[in-house]
Amino acid sequence: MQYDPASLLKRGRERYLELAGMMGSHMTAGSSLELGCGDGMVSGQLRERGWQATAIDNSTALFDERARKAGVTFHEMDASRLGFDDCSFDLVFCYNTFEHFDKPDVVLAEIHRVLRPGGLLVAVFNPIYASPYGLHAYYSISVPYCQFLFEPAVLDRYCRENNKEPINYGMLNEWTPTMFRELWSSFRDRFEVLRYREQVDCSGLPLVWTYPSCFKGKTASFDDLYVSGMECFFRKKG
Query: pLDDT (tens digit, 9 = 90+) per residue, 196-222?
Result: 999 999 999 999 999 999 999 999 999
Residue 87 pLDDT more than 70? yes
Per-residue CA distances from 33 to 101, 114, 123, 195 (Å): 16, 9, 12, 19
pLDDT digits (tens, 9 = 90+) for 161-194: 999 999 999 999 999 999 999 999 999 999 999 9
What's the first-to-final CA gap in the chain, in angstroms? 39
CATH number of 5-125: 3.40.50.150
Mean pLDDT of 78-84: 98
Mean pLDDT of 33-55: 97
**226 in Cβ contact with 178 (< 8 Å):** no
Other beta carbons within 10 Å of 200: 12
Residue 2 pLDDT class (50, 70, 90 cuts): confident
Mean pLDDT of 91-109: 98
Residue 235 pLDDT class (50, 70, 90 cuts): very high
Determine the Cα–Cα distance for residues 218 and 204; give it in Å rounded to an integer.
Answer: 15
Determine the Cα–Cα distance for residues 30 and 232; give it in Å rounded to an integer.
Answer: 20
Mean pLDDT of 82-104: 98
Residue 3 pLDDT class (50, 70, 90 cuts): confident
Count of residues for the chain? 238
What was the pLDDT predicted at 1? 66
Residue 102 pLDDT more than 80? yes
Contacts of 16 (CB under 8 A, 6+ apart): 42, 45, 46
Determine the Cα–Cα distance for residues 22 and 86; give it in Å rounded to an integer.
Answer: 25
Residue 124 pLDDT class (50, 70, 90 cuts): very high
CA dihedral 25, 34, 199, 113 (to 10 degrees): -80
Provide, rounded to the nearest whole percent, the portion of the chain with pLDDT above 70: 100
Sequence ranges of the domains in the chain: 5-125
Mean pLDDT taken over the chain: 96
**How many CA atoms does the CB half-sphere of 36 hold within 13 Å?**
20
Mean pLDDT of 73-85: 97
**99 in Cβ contact with 220 (< 8 Å):** no
Residue 238 pLDDT more than 90? no
